[in-house]
Each structure stands twice: as structure tokens, then as C-alpha cells.
Amino acid sequence: QKMRFESKLPNVGTTIFTVMSGLANQVGAINLSQGFPNFNPSARLQQLVTDHMAGGDNQYAPMPGLLSLREMIAAKIDSLYGVGINPDTEITVTAGGTQAIFCCIAAFVRPGDEVILLEPCYDSYRPSVETVGGIPVVHQLSAPHYQVDWNVLSKLITPRTRMLCINTPQNPTGTILRREDMAKIDAMLRGTDVLLMSDEVYEHLIYDGEKHASALCFPELYARTLAIYSFGKTYHNTGWKTGYCVAPPELTREFRKVHQFNVFSANHPMQAAFADFMADPSEYLGLPAFYQHKRDFFLQAMAHTRFKPLHCSGTYFQLFEYGHISNEPDLAFCKRLTTEFGVAAIPVSSFFSDGKDEKVIRLCFAKTDDLLERAGKALEKV
Ligand code: PMP
């Protein structure tokens, strides 16, 4: 019997990341498409995981996460952002940022509720909203600056708006929301019941002396915020899928209702290892300099190509315009870069739900210098 059902996500196919990484592997291209480091996390951190496994931390962790880890997270937030967060009632450890984003949307968005997205954005937001029957409402940003038009954005807020999703530093644009931008969001949402999903997974990947403006720093804004973080970005282990959500107690309570039936808890030995490892803040305090060096090294490696770099204030992504080189649609262009020139990139149109093609590609510079150098050389031929 052929089962009849209507897809909840009719427009979702194989993601562009799977497509481009697959193509890169097939032709042996340098893969700067998907966002992950090609180097390992700290050897000490790996050893800590091994030790915790050997020591027996192999069964379910507590539903909200290990308290020792949540205490370390609270201490870090206090030292970085100067705000007191209660580890017991305001922090939940998750199976990565993506799972936290899904839970935060599923916990609050009902069928017919509107959720405002700033596109181009991380590709999990829209399907998460659609899975639970919400309606994505898009404020579209444009190259080369991808600046928010506050007037346009504020007009999208209606009595049906349940949530606004922001991401700073933003994937794929590399732009950031500064203190004054966050203050505008704070003012814009006052008097409404709109929640804020503040995706801050790249909080430490911020350059040129810029300071990350966390939603946690604005007391009134925080009352409506669920802020999302990922250890994968901070400690070079995207495959460990561990992150956390910070939200006031009333919101955390609802978040955990979904989280506990979604995964129940995140993996235990990694949590125990992160709790130990976070005692030394030097690793994350050194990240801005570490990745700024990579960004600058990569820009140098690309300096003799015809690609035009856009300004990157944060994340480990660098955008390049190529409209003066070719008229090809960005997807076709990226495929050709992979097959003919041996470097895989992501077309930025794939981060727009309407496929807006501004002839911009995204390259990930979370790679060893030799690979970045080789990529630059290869792209000189374009
Ligand atoms: N948010 C953004 C903006 C991201 O780029 C990513 C990872 N690509 C995530 C969330 C997800 O993080 P995780 O890998 O921990 O699920």
C-alpha cells in the first residue's frame, strides 16, 4: 500500500552543504564550503573526554545538563558580560546549537504564529518554524553590507508575531549587531509579547577589536530572550554536538519541557570534559585573535585573485563577490569552482528562501594555513 501523507517540509531537499561537500570529495577539491575546522580540538580536552569515559560518565546526564558545567557557563557569562545567570534555572545544556534552536521554536511557536527571520540566515531556522506550523516572515538583507532596515523590520511586527530570530555574528554574512543595534531591538520589542531567539554561537569569533553585544546584557530584552551557544564553534569540535540555551526561568521551564522529550539530555562525557576544561578561559579568550589571524591570512592568500572580499567582522566565513568575473548563477559558479578549480564554496543564494542571487559566495576559513594558501593559489586561475 502506498501511504498518503503531505510533507510538512515540501521545499526541503538535500542541503547545499551535503551537495557541495559530496562534490568536493568526489573530485578531491579543497573543501571550504561547510563550516567546520579541519584541525582537532585541544589534546587536553580530548584526553578529558577519554578520562571521563574511563571514569564511568557513560549514562544519561541530568536533563538540564551537568550542574558542574552549568556553573562554569554561568561563571563565564558573569566574567564576559557582567550578568548573573542562575545555572539551575536559566541554563540548559543541549545537543548542539541546532537542537537548542529547534526546542526554542517548538516550545513557543504555535500553528499560524509568525516568526521573523533576517535572511540570509542559518538554514535550520525556517524548517524548524515550519515543522511546528509557524509562518516565517522574512526581512531580507542585501549585499554588500547586509544592514538591517529598522523601519522595515519594525513594520513586520504584528499581533501574530511570536518570535524574532537574530544571529550575531551572523552566518553567512560575517556581519555583527552592535550595542546600538541590540538597543534598537530592545526598544522595538518593548510592550509586545514577541520573544527573541538570539543565536550567539559565534560569540567569540569577532574581530578588529569589536565586542560581542549579547542579548544577555540588556535586562529588559533578556526577559524575552532565549540565547543559543555552541561548544562546537568555541572548542573546534562541531562533531561533538554540544551547546546550551540561556533564558529566564519562565522561558527555560517551557524550553525544557520540549528538550526533555526531544533528546532528554546531551552527551555526558563531553559535558564533564567541558566543565573541567572551562576552568581555563584562555582558550576562548584567545579565539578572536586565533581566527582573526586566519581571516587575514586567507584574505592575503586571496589577494591575487579577482574575487572581491566583503567585510567580515565575525564568524569563520568570508564572503566574496564574483559578479565582475562571471554572470553564472551562484550555484552553477560554485559547482564549477569545485570541479574546474578544485575549491568548494557555498552559494549565498542558498541562505535566502527566495533564492536571491547577488553573485556572492561563502568560503570557510576555519582551516589550516596550508589549505587556505592552496585555495588562494587555485583561485588565482579563475
Ligand atoms: N547557528 C548558526 C548561525 C550556525 O552557523 C550553526 C552551525 N553551523 C549553528 C547555529 C549550529 O550549531 P551546532 O553545530 O552546535 O548545532
Pocket test for ligand 1, best of 166, 230, 235, 262 (most atoms within 8 A of CB): 230
- 235 alpha carbon – ligand 1 mean position (Å): 13
Q: Give the pLDDT confidence score for residue 264 in this predicted structure.
A: 97
The pLDDT score that the predictor gives to residue 13 is 87
In whole numbers, what is the pLDDT of the chain averaged over residues? Answer: 97
Q: Is the pLDDT of residue 14 over 90?
A: no
Ligand 1 centroid to residue 101 C-alpha, Å: 9
The ligand 1 atom nearest the CA atom of 167 = 3
pLDDT tens by residue, 25-69: 999 999 999 999 999 999 999 999 999 999 999 999 999 999 999
- Say yes or no: CB of residue 252 within 6 Å of ligand 1: no
Measure 164 CA to ligand 1 centroid, in angstroms: 17
Measured in Å, residue 87 CA sits from the centre of ligand 1 at 22
- Whether ligand 1 lies within 6 angstroms of the CB of 123 is answered as no
Q: What is the mean pLDDT of residues 152-157?
A: 98
Ligand 1, residue 242: give the atom nearest the CA. Answer: 15
Verify whether ligand 1 is closer than 6 Å to residue 37 (CB atom).
Answer: no
Calculate what percentage of the chain has a pLDDT beyond 70. Answer: 100
pLDDT of residue 50: 98
Atom of ligand 1 nearest to the CA of 35: 8
Q: Stretch 180-203: mean pLDDT, rounded?
A: 98
More confident residue, 11 or 160: 160
How many A from CA of 97 to the centre of ligand 1?
5
Q: pTM of the full predicted structure?
A: 0.97
Q: Note the pLDDT tens digit of each residue in 68-93.
A: 999 999 999 999 999 999 999 999 99
CA of 219 to the centre of ligand 1 (A): 25
Q: Does the CB atom of residue 230 touch ligand 1 within 6 A?
A: yes
Question: What is the rounded average pLDDT of the residues 198-213?
Answer: 98
Residue 130 has pLDDT above 90, yes or no: yes
* pLDDT at position 185: 98
Q: Which atom of ligand 1 is nearest to the CA of 231?
A: 15
| Binding site membership of 120 for ligand 1 (Cβ less than 6 Å) | no
Task: Give the pLDDT confidence of 224-267 residue by residue, as tens digits.
Answer: 999 999 999 999 999 999 999 999 999 999 999 999 999 999 99
Q: Categorize the per-residue pLDDT at 177 as very low, low, confident or very high, splitting at 50, 70 and 90.
A: very high
- pLDDT > 90 fraction of the chain, expressed in percent and rounded: 98
Measured from the Cβ of residue 44, the count of other Cβ atoms closer than 10 Å reads 12
